[in-house]
Amino acid sequence: MTRSLAAIALLAVLAAPASGREETVFAAPGQETETLVIEASADLEAIAPLILGFQETAPEVTIRYADSLTNEVFASAMDACTQAENFADIVISSSVDHIARLTNDGCAQRHDSPFAQAIPEWANWRNEAFGFSFEPAVMVYNSELVPPEDVPLTRNALVELLRTQPETYDGRVGTYDITRSGIGYLFAFFDAQQSSVFGRLLEGFGRAGAVLAPTTGDILDRIESGQLLVGYNLLGSYAYGRLREGAPLGIVLPHDFTIVLSRAALIPVHAANRTTAGRFIDYLLSPAGQDVAAGSSFFFGFDRPPPPDVTAADDAGGATFYRPIVLSPSLLVTLDQAKRARFLAEWNDALGTDR
Amino acid sequence: MNAMPTPGVTRRRFSLFWRLTGAIALVLLAGAGALTFAAFSYARTAADGAYDRLLIGAARQIADTVSAEGGTITVDVPISALETLSISRTDRVYYQITAPDGAIVTGYEALPVASPAIQAGDAAHVSDARFLDQDIRLASVWRYIAEQGATGWVRISVAQTREARNVLTLELTLGALLPVLAMSLLALVVLMAAVRIGLAPLRRVERALQRRDPNDLTPLEGETPIEVEALIVAINRFMGRLSDRLGAMQRYIETAAHQLRTPLTGIAAQVEMLDRARDDKARDMATARLRKRTTEVGRLANQLLSHATVLHRAEVMLADRIDLRQLAEQAVVDANIDLAAKDLSVRKALPESPVWVRGDLVALREAVRNLVENAVHHGAQSRVTITVETAEEGPMLAVHDDGPGISPGDWDHLLIRFVSGKWGHTGLGLAIVSDVARAHGARLGIRHAPDGDFGIALMFPADGACP
């Protein structure tokens, strides 16, 4: 970690002001012979340890890493695909529906990784799109302000909490604004697919005047500050990062079921440097890469117990009932505009967000 | 003899067995190929049948969510519909929903949906197409919407790539291929064994021939199948001829040696007498006798060589087309005779048109020459007549002379080779003629001319004659 921090300190940071696209160059630690271009929608903080870890195995590679909004990455990748142009060597996005669409449209190229067997089947589609992280949607509470008996372990418990203690929790519960957050939309969509509790939960949020925010970070800030007490469907990795740094947070993997998303990477079909791109994918899936992902980037991992200070259904084994978002063409549905409009309308109705 | 097979034997065995095996293998291979193709076609149909049902099911699931709200067609694509198609985890999935007016409600706009010729209706339609550089299978179903402002058939098209189908097709084909291959191999092995058994009689013949003493020319015996019988008969006939030929040669050499020995001994005695001759008269007499003896020996040697020639040619093909008249003319030229010394005349009674026979020219010339010489040396008093005619039973050549002739008792005797009767060495000449006649299928017989002359006739078979 010391090494990576030192390395990050040396980074040249280039900002592209108009789009909010930020490019970072990780100079090759050894004699540079090639460059790998990564277009991503993922926080640099989370990805940097993986890039540095990769450069340990490939010191001759300079990596140009650009971070943009998911929609921008998707649009650029789609354009490059239809124009048959080189866009990047690797595309990474947490909007796995974008990744699924790119793959379905033949915009990704196949890579037979020797480590493809190490990740679960749901995180690998056609050996073209690879999920490499394990990110549960969690409930987060302020551990100083929420008494242990109030801590909700299931969705039903949260509904009950909001119903029985409006005086405490009205206006002090927060979740993603799914109209502005891709990952929030995915979590909500698959939550709704999974059970009818979600409908009642939304009604509860509506009655309690839930606070909506576009990022997990925003909500975590407010929970830390005490403005909010409970957050729902937040990214477990971000929350745990705060927790590790001493924030007064508690994290619950919902015991009824926990939605899991895997950030995915693919090699665009017209990538210039496909060999090194393949090596990077191999690293992400390799035990070494998975260790870094679970240790420094995302804190959760495939087939690993959750960190010890996370409340899971079974602390020892982490045998929480995970419901992964399967990387497959069924994700096309989440991109269907009519479907999306309908879902958002229902969501807005339930939350009463016309206010 | 049979310790090591000679290269020739090995090559013969190779060709028969392996040619049959090769032909069988080719037939089996072609059969296996045809079966594999049939299995592939069937597997592809089966795979398409199975996956088409999923595809239509997914389309119907989507169709169930089609509705019209305020004159606008809307559809709520259920995730379960696409999940059904994602079961294989390999195929890409595309869909497109089209309103009655042709406007695309949602989905892939460029999807090559069913051609306009396809009529909307309750039945699903499935077809092959290409999309985004891939082969796809495309299913369309229709749903009739009757709402204010939006009435008509809404088309729901769902497509998927062929990967899972191809995998299933391959699996099914391989599953069928294995038994086909196993059966073909089994058939090949069994048929090879059958060929080996079938060829066993040939091998028995071969072994019998190998084991045989080189001097053993008796016919091959033992049970043989019909197919090999002709071969055995041919071999036996060949061995019979070889045996006859060898016997003839052997007898010939024995008699020739015997025949030459006596006159040579006589010559030696004459030479001794010449040495002992006291006066010129005695010497002249001895010299004359010696000359007579040597002439005789010379003639005998000529006859022996002539006979050897005939003997060698006795069984060759009767390939030449010969005019008996020319043969008669030639015979007078060929004959080793001094007509003046004997005061003889030679006449020829020949027809005007050619008399053709098929035969061996050299052998026939020898035969006629011998007949003429025989007549001149041993019978003729004043004349020799050579007659050629076409008799009713076939062409005939006869040599007559006005000599005493041969009694029927002597005749039979004379035909046996090398018998020296009162005619000295005449027997040899007639034996030659007899051999040639036999080789030509002709008869040799006594013939009395109208003027009483004694004659010997060569009578050719009518079917041996040529037009």
More confident residue, B383 or B51: B51
Q: Could you tell me if B104 lies within 8 Å of chain A, comparing CB atoms? A: no
- The reply to whether residue A338 touches residue B94, judged by beta carbons under 8 angstroms, is no
- The reply to whether residue A332 touches residue B82, judged by beta carbons under 8 angstroms, is yes
Q: For chain A, first and last CA: distance in Å?
A: 46
- Provide the β-strand partners of residue B465: B357
Q: Which of B74, B79, B132 comes nearest A338 by C-beta?
A: B74
Task: Say if CB A64 and CB A37 are below 8 A apart.
Answer: yes
Nearest C-alpha in A relative to B78: A333
Q: Do residue A146 and residue A250 come from a single domain?
A: yes
Nearest C-alpha in A relative to B93: A329
Determine which of A188-202, B98-112, B114-128 has the lowest per-residue pLDDT on average: B114-128
Is A186 domain-assigned? yes
Q: Which of A105, A328, A339 comes nearest B77 by C-beta?
A: A339
Closest CA to A268 of A16, A82, A135: A82
- The reply to whether residue A104 touches residue B106, judged by beta carbons under 8 angstroms, is no
Structural domain of residue A52, as residue ranges?
2-134+262-285
Q: Which of A125, A330, A336 comes nearest B106 by C-beta?
A: A336
More confident residue, A259 or B322: A259
- Answer whether residue A213 shows pLDDT above 60: yes
Q: Taking the domains of chain B in order of start, what are their residue ranges?
A: 215-313, 318-464
Amino acid (one-letter) located at B287: T
Query: Three-class SS of residue B348?
Result: strand
DSSP string for A113-160 = -TTGGGS-GGGEETTTEEE---EEEEEEEETTTS-GGG---SHHHHHH
- The reply to whether residue A125 touches residue B77, judged by beta carbons under 8 angstroms, is no
- The reply to whether residue B82 touches residue A106, judged by beta carbons under 8 angstroms, is no
Nearest C-alpha in A relative to B104: A338
- The reply to whether residue A121 touches residue B89, judged by beta carbons under 8 angstroms, is yes
Q: What is the enclosing helix (H) or strand (E) of B361?
A: helix B361-378
Is A303 domain-assigned? no
Q: Could you tell me if B103 lies within 8 Å of chain A, comparing CB atoms? A: no
Pairing type for strands A21-26 and A12-16 reads: antiparallel
Determine which of A67-81, A186-200, A281-295, B451-465 has the lowest per-residue pLDDT on average: B451-465
Residue A195 Cα distances to A135, A198, A199, A257, B88, angstroms: 20, 6, 8, 9, 25
Q: What is the per-residue pLDDT for B338?
A: 66
Q: What is the largest CA-CA distance in chain B?
A: 166
- The reply to whether residue A338 touches residue B95, judged by beta carbons under 8 angstroms, is no
Nearest C-alpha in B relative to A124: B89
Q: Could you tell me if B136 lies within 8 Å of chain A, comparing CB atoms? A: no
pLDDT band at A236 (very low <50, low <70, confident <90, very high): very high
The stretch B166-184 carries a mean pLDDT of 92
Q: What is the per-residue pLDDT for B315?
A: 57
Query: What confidence tens digit (pLDDT) does each residue in A104-139 have?
Result: 999 999 999 999 998 999 999 999 999 999 999 999
* CA B113/CA B156 separation, integer angstroms: 9
* CA B173/CA B175 separation, integer angstroms: 5
Residues of A with CB under 8 A from a CB of B: 103-106, 121, 125-126, 193, 326, 328-330, 332-334, 336-339, 342
Task: Say if CB B267 and CB B290 are below 8 A apart.
Answer: yes
What DSSP character marks residue B397? Answer: E
- Answer whether residue B427 shows pLDDT above 60: no
Q: What is the per-residue pLDDT for B439?
A: 79
Residue showing tokens 């929609």 = A71
Q: Do residue A16 and residue A68 come from a single domain?
A: yes
* Chain B residues lying within 8 Å of A127, measured CB to CB: none
- The reply to whether residue B89 touches residue A339, judged by beta carbons under 8 angstroms, is no
Is A296 domain-assigned? no
How would you write B140-200 as a 3-class SS string?
Answer: EEEEEEEECCEEEEEEEEEEEECHHHHHHHHHHHHHHHHHHHHHHHHHHHHHHHHHHHHHH
- Answer whether residue A13 shows pLDDT above 50: no
Angle at B78 between CA A74 and CA B118, to 5 degrees: 95
Q: Could you tell me if B95 lies within 8 Å of chain A, comparing CB atoms? A: yes
Q: What is the per-residue pLDDT for A138?
A: 94
Q: What is the per-residue pLDDT for B370?
A: 82
Q: Do residue A175 and residue A313 come from a single domain?
A: yes
Q: CB count, 10 Å around CB of B359?
A: 26
Angle at B394 between CA B393 and CA B398, to 5 degrees: 110
Q: Do residue A140 and residue A229 come from a single domain?
A: yes
Report the CATH number at residue A313: 3.40.190.10
Task: Read off the tokens for B467.
Answer: 């037009």
Task: Say if CB A262 and CB A125 are below 8 A apart.
Answer: no
Q: What is the per-residue pLDDT for B116?
A: 63
Q: Could you tell me if B65 lies within 8 Å of chain A, comparing CB atoms? A: no
What DSSP character marks residue A296? Answer: I
A vs B: CB pairs below 8 A: 56
Residues 228-267 of B with CB under 8 A from A: none
- What phi and psi values does residue A351 have, to the nearest 5 degrees? -80, -15
Q: What is the per-residue pLDDT for A175?
A: 94
Q: Do residue A207 and residue A336 come from a single domain?
A: yes
Is A64 domain-assigned? yes
Task: Say if CB A267 and CB A38 are below 8 A apart.
Answer: no
Q: Do residue A266 and residue A321 come from a single domain?
A: no
The stretch B123-147 carries a mean pLDDT of 91
- Answer whether residue A64 shows pLDDT above 90: yes
Is A294 domain-assigned? no
Nearest C-alpha in B relative to A127: B90
* CA A211/CA A41 separation, integer angstroms: 25
* CA B126/CA A156 separation, integer angstroms: 45
* CA A205/CA A350 separation, integer angstroms: 8
Q: What is the per-residue pLDDT for B135?
A: 92
* Chain B residues lying within 8 Å of A103, measured CB to CB: 92
Q: Do residue A15 and residue A87 come from a single domain?
A: yes
Q: Which of B74, B79, B90 comes nearest A126 by C-beta?
A: B90
Q: Do residue A42 and residue A83 come from a single domain?
A: yes
What DSSP character marks residue A270? Answer: T
Q: Which of A104, A326, A339 comes nearest B92 by C-beta?
A: A104
Q: Do residue A195 and residue A325 come from a single domain?
A: yes
Q: Report the gap between the CA of B95 and the closest CA in chain A (Å).
A: 10
Q: What is the largest CA-CA distance in chain A?
A: 64
* CA A232/CA A155 separation, integer angstroms: 9
- The reply to whether residue B92 touches residue A103, judged by beta carbons under 8 angstroms, is yes
Q: Where are the beta strands (DSSP E) in B222-329?
A: 320-323
Long-range CB contact pairs, B445-454, < 8 A, 24+: B446/B405, B446/B406, B446/B408, B446/B411, B447/B398, B447/B400, B449/B385, B449/B387, B449/B398, B449/B400, B452/B402, B453/B383, B453/B385, B453/B400, B453/B401, B453/B402, B454/B379, B454/B400, B454/B401, B454/B402, B454/B403, B454/B404, B454/B405, B454/B406
- The reply to whether residue A329 touches residue B85, judged by beta carbons under 8 angstroms, is yes
Query: Three-class SS of residue A58?
Result: coil
* Chain A residues lying within 8 Å of B161, measured CB to CB: none
Q: Do residue A188 and residue A316 come from a single domain?
A: yes
Task: Say if CB A49 and CB A292 are below 8 A apart.
Answer: yes
Q: Do residue A214 and residue A321 come from a single domain?
A: yes
More confident residue, B407 or A136: A136
Q: Do residue A100 and residue A215 come from a single domain?
A: no
The stretch B255-261 carries a mean pLDDT of 78
Task: Say if CB A34 and CB A74 are below 8 A apart.
Answer: no
% of residues, chain A, pLDDT over 90: 72
What DSSP character marks residue A294? Answer: I
Q: CB count, 10 Å around CB of B301?
A: 14
* Chain B residues lying within 8 Å of A337, measured CB to CB: 106
Q: For chain B, first and last CA: distance in Å?
A: 51
Q: How many domains does chain A have?
A: 2
Q: What is the per-residue pLDDT for A124?
A: 94
Determine which of A176-180, A296-300, B224-228 has the lowest per-residue pLDDT on average: B224-228
- Answer whether residue B166 shows pLDDT above 80: yes
Q: Could you tell me if B76 lies within 8 Å of chain A, comparing CB atoms? A: yes
* Chain A residues lying within 8 Å of B77, measured CB to CB: 333, 336, 338-339
Helices B426-439 and B280-313 meet at what angle, rounded to 10? 10
Q: What is the per-residue pLDDT for B14?
A: 56
- Answer whether residue B18 shows pLDDT above 90: no
What DSSP character marks residue B105? Answer: E
* CA A133/CA A38 separation, integer angstroms: 17
- Answer whether residue B418 shows pLDDT above 70: no
- What phi and psi values does residue B108 have, to the nearest 5 degrees? -75, 115
Q: Could you tell me if B135 lies within 8 Å of chain A, comparing CB atoms? A: no
Q: Could you tell me if B82 lies within 8 Å of chain A, comparing CB atoms? A: yes
Residue showing tokens 């990474």 = A92
Which of B93, B131, B156, B163 should one mutate to test binding to chain A, selecting the residue with the greatest count of A CBs within 10 A?
B93
Q: What is the per-residue pLDDT for A223?
A: 96
What DSSP character marks residue A293? Answer: I
Determine which of A66-75, A311-320, B190-199 has the lowest per-residue pLDDT on average: A311-320
Is A187 domain-assigned? yes
Is A323 domain-assigned? yes
Q: What is the per-residue pLDDT for A283?
A: 96
- Provide the β-strand partners of residue A266: A91, A129
Query: What confidence tens digit (pLDDT) does each residue in A296-355 have?
Result: 888 898 888 888 888 887 654 445 588 999 999 999 999 888 889 889 999 999 887 654
Q: Name the CATH superfamily for B318-464.
A: Histidine kinase-like ATPase, C-terminal domain (3.30.565.10)
Is A339 domain-assigned? yes
The overall average pLDDT reported for chain B is 82
